[in-house]
Amino acid sequence: MSSTPNSTYSQAEVLRTEYALFVLTTLFVITRVVIHVSKRRTLEFQDFFIYLAYALYLGLWAQYIVAVPYLFKLSAVSSGEIAPYPDVTKDVAYMSKLIWTAQMCFYICLWSVKMSLLSLYRKLITSLEIIYSRIWWGIVIFAALAYIGCIISSVMSCTSLKAFFNAGSCSSPDELQNQIISLYYSYAVDVVTDLMVMFLPIHLVWGLRMARAEKAGILVLFGGGFVCIAFGTLRVVQVGIQHGKAVSPEPKWLTLWTVIEVSMAIIIGCSPTFATLVRARIKSKKSSGNKQGYLKQGEGVDLETIGSSGRRNRSDTESNMDSLREDERPVALRRNTLFNGGITVTTTVQQDNRRKNSKSGG
C-alpha cells in the first residue's frame, strides 16, 4: 500500500460526500425514468445501457461504503497511528476483495454510459452515408476492446490475485509500477473514447443551419463528455500523483474520486432525456409568441429545429417536393431524429430568386 497523501479529509467527510453523490445521481436517474414513463416510450438500447450503468454504480457505491471504514482503519495501522489488531489480516483480505470487485464495476459502468450515448447517436446516422455507420461501429469496437484492456491491465497488476485476495499482497516494486501503468492506461483510453463518442454528433450538428442559441445548446449537450474528461483527469491527479511524481493509487482516495467520476458520467448519460423538457419550453414560447416558429420565407430558408410541434410525414414532404417547379426544389434537405422523437432537426434551403423575380415582373 502506498503512502497516504497529505489530506484533511476524514472518514466521515468521505462517507458524506459519497452519500451526497449517490443521492444526486439517483435523482437524475429517477427523473429520467419519470420522463420515460410519462412519454410512454418503449425501452431502447440507450435506456438499457444507462440503467445497467446505474445498477453497476449501486454495486460499486455499496462496496466502497463498506470498504471505507476498513481503509481508514488499515491506513492508521500502516502509519503507526494505532497498533495492529488480531483481525488485521482478515480485514485486509476482505477490503481487497471489495476494492477489486468495485474496480471491475467501475470499468463496465463507464463503458455502459458510453454505449448508451452511442446507441442514442446511432439515430443521427441512419439516413446518412455508409461511412458514418462504419465510423460508429469503429468507435463501438474500439471502446469495447479498450475496456477489455482495462480489465486485463487491472488483473495483471498483481503477480498473484490469490495472494492479493488472501492478504492484500500486491506491493512489490514491479506490482506498484503495474498499478501506475494500469491507472494511466485506463485514463488514456477513457479520454480517447470520450472524444470519439462526442465526435459524430458534434460533427453532424456543426454544419446545420439553425438558430445560434439552439445550436449552442445542442453542442453543449453533446459536449458533456468534456465534463467526464475533467473529472477523470482530477481523479488521476488526486490518486496517482504525489509530490509531482506518479505513485500507486491510494485506495481510500481512489474510492472517493471513483464515485465522483462515475456519478458525473451517469448524470451526463441521463442529460439527453432532459431535452424533452427544453422542447416543451420552447414549444410553449413559440405558441405564446411567434406562431410562425423559426420560418424565414423571405430568405428562402425553412428551418425547423428543437421544439417543433410535430413531424412532417415523409409522404407530405414528397408531395410538397413534387409540387415545386424544378428551379424551386430544395438545394439541401437534411432531417435527423434525435432522442426518440424528442428533437427533430430539419434544414431546408430553397432557391426562389426566379420565383421572386417572376412575381416582381408581373
Co-location of 265 and 302 in the same domain: no
Co-location of 68 and 183 in the same domain: yes
Co-location of 220 and 327 in the same domain: no
CA–CA separation, 362 vs 230, rounded Å? 62
CA 176 from centroid of its chain's CA atoms: 30
Beta strand pairing status for 295-296 and 245-246? Answer: unpaired
Indicate whether 45 pLDDT > 80.
Answer: yes
pTM metric for this prediction: 0.71
**50 - beta bridge partners?**
none
Burial label, 146 (beta-carbon count in 10 A; 0-12, 13-18, 19+): buried
Residue 212 belongs to a domain: yes
Residue 174 belongs to a domain: yes
Residues of the chain above pLDDT 90, percent: 22
135 versus 282: which is more confidently predicted?
135
Q: Give the max Cα distance, the chain.
A: 102
User: By mean pLDDT, which of 43-52, 55-64, 129-138, 247-256 is the weakest?
Assistant: 247-256
Cβ atoms of residues 153 and 186 within 8 Å: yes
187 versus 57: which is more confidently predicted?
57
Residue 320 belongs to a domain: yes
Co-location of 332 and 246 in the same domain: no
Quick: pLDDT tens for 314-355.
444 343 333 333 343 333 334 444 433 334 444 444 444 444
Structural domain total, the chain: 2
Quick: pLDDT tens for 4-24.
444 557 888 889 999 999 999
Final residue belonging to a domain, choices 276, 308, 323: 276
The full DSSP string for 295-312 is EETTTTEEEE-TT-S-PP
User: By mean pLDDT, which of 9-18, 122-131, 162-171, 322-331 is the weakest?
Assistant: 322-331
Structural domain containing residue 254: 11-276
Co-location of 175 and 114 in the same domain: yes
Residue 196 belongs to a domain: yes
Q: What is the mean pLDDT of residues 157-167?
A: 78
CA–CA separation, 120 vs 126, rounded Å? 11
Co-location of 229 and 188 in the same domain: yes
Per DSSP (E only), the strands in the chain are 241-242, 245-246, 295-296, 301-304, 330-338, 343-350
Co-location of 79 and 165 in the same domain: yes
Co-location of 306 and 251 in the same domain: no
Quick: pLDDT tens for 233-249.
877 777 666 655 666 66
Residue 107 belongs to a domain: yes
